Structure 1
Amino acid sequence: MAGEHRPTDLLAGLDPDQLAAVRAPRGPVCVLAGAGTGKTRTIVSRIAALVRAGHVTAGQVLAVTFTTRAAGEMRTRLRAMDVHGAQARTFHAAAWKQLRYFWPRVVGDAPWDLLDGKLRLVGQAAHRAGTGTEREALRDLAGEIEWAKASLIGPEDYPAAAARARRDPPAAPELVAKVYAGYEALKNDARVLDFDDLLLHTAAALEEHSAVAEEFRDRYRCFVVDEYQDVTPLQQRVLDAWLGERDDLTVVGDANQTIYSFAGASPRPLLDFTRRFPEATVVRLERDYRSTPEVVSLANRVIGAARDRPAGSRLRLIGQRPPGPNPRFAEYDDEPAEAAAVAARIRELVDGGVALSEVAVLFRVNAQSEVYEQALTELDIPYLVRGGERFFARQEVRQAMAALRTAAGSDPGGELPALVRALLVPLGLTEEPPPGGRQRERWESLLALVELAEELVATEPGADLRRYAAELEQRAQSQHPPTVEGVTLASLHAAKGLEWDAVFLVGLVEGTMPIQHADGDDAAIEEERRLLYVGVTRARVHLSLTWALARAEGGKRYRRRSRFLYGVIPDNDPASRPAASRQREQRVVERPRFCRVCGDQLHGVMPTKLGRCSDCPADLDEGLLDRLREWRMERSKALRVPAYVIFTDATLLAIAEQRPADRAALVAISGIGASKLDKFGSEVLSLVTGAN
């Protein structure tokens, strides 16, 4: 039959590890899938294979993930494999559907409405509690309430739990608890639910009502959870309620991409999966089909420097693509110069054939976006800010959907993409794109709708306008927009699950990457490292990592590049330092240094730093080294900077070996310049002379 897929077709092109995951028997399966290893294809192929083999019907499958986009992509791929009826939803969407169905039996009255946003009620609760009601303060309070509910923590337990978790609450913990309790009371009085309530009530309905649980478990018998490293205790409770005593569960995740701990997510269920299910099949996917070997190598170096990595996170990616360009590293005097250089490089790539929609600029915090918006505008490069106005909320898209629905009612014939294009011409879809600005944005949105029609016909050759209109409605409900032509500006968190041909990781300085409030917390620092790793693995071919020494043009250059870049940038990379730095290095080469032990010329960073050849005997004063380390720790705490900003370990070692007696001898040690001499010179010399 045309369009029918045989089971063997589903396995074509899968590598041995992917095949092992697809062919694993029913029961607990854990797929440890690194970035770019084809996990989505593996998931849908496993579902399709189980359905084709008769182990389960499509309607008995429930696949859950964490974004509407990922769920939409999963549904599209399942449809392309002729698997219809399998549910692919986010946790919240699945719970909302179940709760509406079971509500009359569990509660008995009319279903409560879903709260559009919680700030209004949080504001009322904050006012009653006597705390600030500024919008930013309310956002912080709402976020803390969300963390508590996702972590299964009630208002009365919040202060103690926040202390254990080392939270940095937006107000005194007791005050946050008071706002939390007030918010819950207001919400219940108004008979409305927030998103976390969807999960809480769904779990409770299954846990407390055996008939509801029995009906649900008879309906769904096979479960798949994507991005399992991001599950919260509340989501795990829902999953446990879904499963009951059964074990027909496939989980897919990568502990190296755990970046939502601040919201309550934990990789522990993924890492402990085989303890819960000792008989589970475990498959590791490490072949990276997304990125070039050069990008993969950099990603491995970034994550490989992490400390105390648990066994389940020790995936090492293996690049499968042909070689590409080396990642670029660059330092700039200030942020405007950095943004201008990034925009110029984007122009080069686009002029060389890279599509605008295949370029992304990623940053740690949204406030970094503005300078890049300005730089791209100056070069007339279209862009879109991810997290801004949603595609289906745009006026031109709403108008287009209304026109398409009206036309679908009369069932016009003709080839679908051409028909859609003709219907959108009156709304502004011209043959040639207009100049930049709002007109161009409108044109790009309409063109994206035509391209979506082409995509639908490619997977469903017989699709007509009625089918296309239904597809648009489904995508609008699940917020699964088509691709719009333009450079993407996004935070690293918002970039999770996406990929581009060219990625620019910008603003990689201490205090931003890692973020300042993470300093002093080893777990938080390692999460920041994983966030950078996620950013690196978004790139397919072109990857650029940049930082600026000052915020404003001509400002004081006090910043330092991110600690995560040390040991990652190749020593011989000519783009890793600005021209002025390369000139200084050239002057250093002209004045060679010699070993203080044997007299030979020194080569390399460490021998130059220590003032001796690596195989010459060291005269180390270990007591002095211990005192220097203690002093450095005290100074770093007092100045609230990382210890290495004071002096690196290598510099302390050099001081403890050479024991400089005066300022001239101290500044002669490589790495100690005039600035550090002025700040710390007298203290260090006192330690040295006091140790003699």
Structure 2
Amino acid sequence: MTGPYMGDPQLTEEQEAVIQQPADAIVLVTAGAGAGKTHTLVRRLDRLVEQEGLSAREILVLSFSRATVRELRDRLARDGETAQYVRAQTFDSWALELLSAIDSHTDWQAQSFDTRIRAATKAIDAGDTDGRYEEALRHVVIDEVQDLVGDRREMVEALLGRYDCGFTVVGDFSQAIYGFQIQDPTERPGEFFTWLRNTFGEDLVELHLGKNFRARTEEARLALPLGPELQLSNGAAISGSHMHSRLRTTLGRTLDFGSLDDQFVCDSLREYDGTSAILCRTNGQALLVSELLHKGEVPHRLQRAAQDRAVPAWFAALFHSVDTSQLTRSQFDEALSTVSPPSDLSGDVVWNLLIRHSAPRGRRVVDLVRLRSILASGRLPDELTAQPPCPLVVSSIHRAKGLEFDRVLVTDPGPLRDGRDTDPDEEARMLYVAMTRPRDELWRLTAPDTRFVRKDDQTDRWGRYHWQRTWRLGLELAGADVRPDQPAGAWGFAADPIELQQYLATKVASGDVLTLERAEVEANDLDHGPSYLIRHNGRHIGAISDRLRSAMYRYMQLGRGFIPRSWPILIAGARVDAVETVAGSRASGASSGLGPHGVWLAPRMTGLTWFSYEKKNGEEAVNA
């Protein structure tokens, strides 16, 4: 194997042992942080196709997170010789595809992730999938298996237990940080490892990847020696509390990066040549860090949740380029030349992705009706919805799983909190994950003050509070908080929709300040707050969605049966996450002059806001 692998580090004996396993082998690979598992998997997939004679359709590659799947797809496209066409999917997307093939009459897209996973497991157990996979499936590759808990664990166990095929599963228990998703209090993270060993016994080949390829300095390797001990802390003699304390002590030996209120600190973040990340214990902390960075005028990207996907603005140009229902390659090339497509994807790659998911059978044209349906239901390929690269990323530790950076600043998590909702083992593993993300530099950062910021149980959003229990001072913004069914200018305020689309495409950028202005004194709908218009540099560019209005109502409720009467007149602290492509009313789009497809641009908001209320004398009370 030459060509794509020229210049890569020489394979270790551990990697060679994984790659050379036959196609019918059942293999568990434990791989430490930065151990080159993705490169090893790509080389293994190449061998399965090239030397073991498997076709791409006979291999199924599954992983927990979209980020991991995206990285594996990118590496297959870049480095894979014969395996570049092997499909890699998340458990959720695979379950959806499987169910749609078995029962095309059910709207599976409308079901929740957990419902689809449980339905897929039931279908596998009942043998409903045998006609689809019994003969065709010869090898399964599963990454990040330490994160398999609950329904997803049961689905994978059903898959591996039913079909007589080889498999390669890769994981590291010391990086298992999704135990909070477990509903059954008797289940613990890592049970999948136990199931594998009990089910396959001596037939299970266990291999290990131990050499770290990520960390290039001693400080970046500080936490790595504690990884093997974390493997033993799951209810064993080494307690999670003890491991968390040791990791926090190790973090304390790193240099303090300083305060984000310091202009010198902000300058050093802005001027760094490599990639950086600030990793926080919670997304509430990440929102506050982002707020401080904006004050210091430091460009950055706030990492979205895995399920929070945005369709990039350039996508709208494809729909606006033609009035017909089909898009040819020449029309695609012309449309793409007028916008800024993703820098990491070529036109050929984008075109082939669109063809794969939306072309009529046997034709090399894009069916825009089908593509719009895929867009509206959130089923576009991950490659087309990935957040754009940014030199500085602010993220919770959970959202940074699987990522790596040249420099990492970890907010000090503080001592473990008492309470039944705190799992010391998982807290230790989470801190370990954060401390093993850097290639070169590991720094410590004082966590922002979160005394009056906490997760609101009614909305599952972060909110601002006060020592007076009844005060509500701000709420987190997220995807789908902008009204999607009508283009800007067609509802809530009068403006030229065509001119506003041009304004959104050319004048609105990520990080820009937004203000939400109350459009009505009282809410007209039951269980919803009033409407708010979105203002950018003095002009309206949209209205909030019913989803956000409902969240506002629940956040403002002080108890069951309470009807909120006082609403903020202004909401500050909002920022532009991105300008995205949305699908709404075809009739409204056509009447607004935006074509027949019902597709246009809309701002996507982020940030932890501040509420401003109106005083009784009519003056504005800032931040209540």
**TM > 0.5:** yes
Q: Is the 8 A contact 2:27 2:206 kept in 1?
A: yes
Q: CA deviation at 1:304?
A: 6.3
Match of 2:473 in 1: none
Q: Does 1:527 align with 2:442?
A: no
Alignment of 1:553-568 (within 5 A): none
Cα deviation code 1:374-415 (max 9, x no counterpart): 32123321122112798963673443454678999454499x
Cα deviation code 1:184-237 (max 9, x no counterpart): xxxxxxxxx32122122222222223x642442212221111011111242233
Q: Is the 8 A contact 1:505 1:544 kept in 2?
A: yes
Letter matched to residue 180 of structure 2: F
Q: Is the 8 A contact 2:220 2:441 kept in 1?
A: no
2:42 counterpart (37, 44, 47): 44
Match of 1:536 in 2: 435
After superposition, the Cα gap between the structure-2 partners of 1:24 and 1:496, relative to the gap in structure 1 and judged at 3 Å, is same
Q: Is the 8 A contact 2:314 2:336 kept in 1?
A: no
2:174 counterpart (256, 266, 280): 256
Equivalent-residue separation in structure 2 for 1:452 and 1:550 (angstroms): 37
1:196 counterpart (114, 121, 140): 114
Q: What are structure 1's unaligned runs of at least 5 residues?
A: 105-109, 116-192, 315-325, 332-336, 425-445, 458-462, 554-692
Equivalent-residue separation in structure 2 for 1:10 and 1:60 (angstroms): 30
Q: Does 1:546 align with 2:445?
A: yes
Equivalent-residue separation in structure 2 for 1:410 and 1:388 (angstroms): 34
Alignment of 1:381-392 (within 5 A): 381-387=298-304
Match of 2:69 in 1: 71
Larger radius of gyration: 1
Match of 1:157 in 2: none
Match of 2:99 in 1: 99
Alignment of 1:255-294 (within 5 A): 255-264=173-182, 266-271=189-194, 273-277=196-200, 278-294=202-218
Q: Is the 8 A contact 2:174 2:230 kept in 1?
A: no
Equivalent-residue separation in structure 2 for 1:551 and 1:485 (angstroms): 26
Equivalent-residue separation in structure 2 for 1:12 and 1:544 (angstroms): 28
Q: CA deviation at 1:477?
A: 1.3
Q: CA deviation at 1:103?
A: 1.6
Match of 1:60 in 2: 58
Alignment of 1:398-547 (within 5 A): 398-402=315-319, 409=327, 411-412=329-330, 422-424=337-339, 446=340, 449-453=341-345, 456=346, 463=348, 466-467=351-352, 470=355, 477-480=380-383, 481=386, 483-510=388-415, 514-517=416-419, 524-547=423-446
Alignment of 1:210-249 (within 5 A): 212-243=129-160, 244=162, 246-249=164-167
Q: Is the 8 A contact 1:229 1:267 kept in 2?
A: yes
Equivalent-residue separation in structure 2 for 1:353 and 1:10 (angstroms): 23
Equivalent-residue separation in structure 2 for 1:370 and 1:545 (angstroms): 18
Equivalent-residue separation in structure 2 for 1:530 and 1:383 (angstroms): 26
Match of 2:88 in 1: 88
Q: Is the 8 A contact 2:278 2:409 kept in 1?
A: yes
Secondary structure class of the residue paired with 1:328: coil
Cα deviation code 1:237-263 (max 9, x no counterpart): 322332315251111000000111111
Q: CA deviation at 1:57?
A: 1.6
Q: Is the 8 A contact 2:138 2:165 kept in 1?
A: no
Cα deviation code 1:125-159 (max 9, x no counterpart): xxxxxxxxxxxxxxxxxxxxxxxxxxxxxxxxxxx
Q: CA deviation at 1:59?
A: 0.6
Match of 2:604 in 1: none
- Structure whose residues are more often strand by fraction: 2
Q: Does 1:205 align with 2:123?
A: yes
Secondary structure class of the residue paired with 1:78: helix
Secondary structure class of the residue paired with 2:424: helix
Letter matched to residue 419 of structure 2: H
Match of 2:28 in 1: 30
After superposition, the Cα gap between the structure-2 partners of 1:23 and 1:500, relative to the gap in structure 1 and judged at 3 Å, is same
Secondary structure class of the residue paired with 2:72: helix
- Structure whose residues are more often helix by fraction: 1
After superposition, the Cα gap between the structure-2 partners of 1:28 and 1:311, relative to the gap in structure 1 and judged at 3 Å, is farther
Q: What are structure 2's unaligned runs of at least 5 residues?
A: 183-187, 239-251, 358-370, 453-624
Letter matched to residue 56 of structure 2: A
Q: Is the 8 A contact 2:31 2:210 kept in 1?
A: yes
Equivalent-residue separation in structure 2 for 1:464 and 1:8 (angstroms): 21
Secondary structure class of the residue paired with 1:292: coil
Secondary structure class of the residue paired with 1:201: helix
Equivalent-residue separation in structure 2 for 1:20 and 1:34 (angstroms): 16
Letter matched to residue 489 of structure 1: V
Secondary structure class of the residue paired with 2:402: coil
Count of residue pairs brought into register by the alignment: 409
Equivalent-residue separation in structure 1 for 2:7 and 2:126 (angstroms): 40
Equivalent-residue separation in structure 2 for 1:195 and 1:51 (angstroms): 32
After superposition, the Cα gap between the structure-2 partners of 1:370 and 1:249, relative to the gap in structure 1 and judged at 3 Å, is closer
Letter matched to residue 539 of structure 1: P
Q: Does 1:375 align with 2:292?
A: yes
1:340 counterpart (253, 258, 261): 261
The RMSD of aligned alpha carbons is 4.1
Equivalent-residue separation in structure 1 for 2:335 and 2:451 (angstroms): 47
Letter matched to residue 224 of structure 2: N
Alignment of 1:101-250 (within 5 A): 101-103=101-103, 110-115=105-110, 193-209=111-127, 212-243=129-160, 244=162, 246-250=164-168
After superposition, the Cα gap between the structure-2 partners of 1:90 and 1:388, relative to the gap in structure 1 and judged at 3 Å, is closer
Cα deviation code 1:64-100 (max 9, x no counterpart): 0011232232223223324254231111111111111
Report % sequence identity: 22
Cα deviation code 1:554-601 (max 9, x no counterpart): xxxxxxxxxxxxxxxxxxxxxxxxxxxxxxxxxxxxxxxxxxxxxxxx
Q: Is the 8 A contact 1:33 1:285 kept in 2?
A: yes
Equivalent-residue separation in structure 2 for 1:539 and 1:215 (angstroms): 42
Q: Is the 8 A contact 1:499 1:539 kept in 2?
A: yes
Letter matched to residue 190 of structure 2: P
Q: CA deviation at 1:494?
A: 0.8
TM-score scaled to structure 1, two decimals?
0.52
Match of 2:481 in 1: none
TM-score scaled to structure 2, two decimals?
0.57
Q: Is the 8 A contact 2:173 2:231 kept in 1?
A: no
Equivalent-residue separation in structure 2 for 1:310 and 1:389 (angstroms): 26
Q: Is the 8 A contact 1:50 1:56 kept in 2?
A: yes
Match of 2:512 in 1: none
After superposition, the Cα gap between the structure-2 partners of 1:349 and 1:266, relative to the gap in structure 1 and judged at 3 Å, is same
Letter matched to residue 380 of structure 2: Q
Equivalent-residue separation in structure 2 for 1:202 and 1:508 (angstroms): 38
Equivalent-residue separation in structure 2 for 1:372 and 1:487 (angstroms): 12
Letter matched to residue 106 of structure 2: P
Secondary structure class of the residue paired with 1:361: strand
Secondary structure class of the residue paired with 1:74: helix
Match of 1:686 in 2: none
Letter matched to residue 66 of structure 1: F
After superposition, the Cα gap between the structure-2 partners of 1:350 and 1:14, relative to the gap in structure 1 and judged at 3 Å, is farther
Secondary structure class of the residue paired with 1:393: coil
Secondary structure class of the residue paired with 1:517: coil
Q: Is the 8 A contact 1:295 1:539 kept in 2?
A: no
Q: Is the 8 A contact 1:338 1:546 kept in 2?
A: yes
Equivalent-residue separation in structure 2 for 1:305 and 1:284 (angstroms): 15
After superposition, the Cα gap between the structure-2 partners of 1:307 and 1:267, relative to the gap in structure 1 and judged at 3 Å, is closer
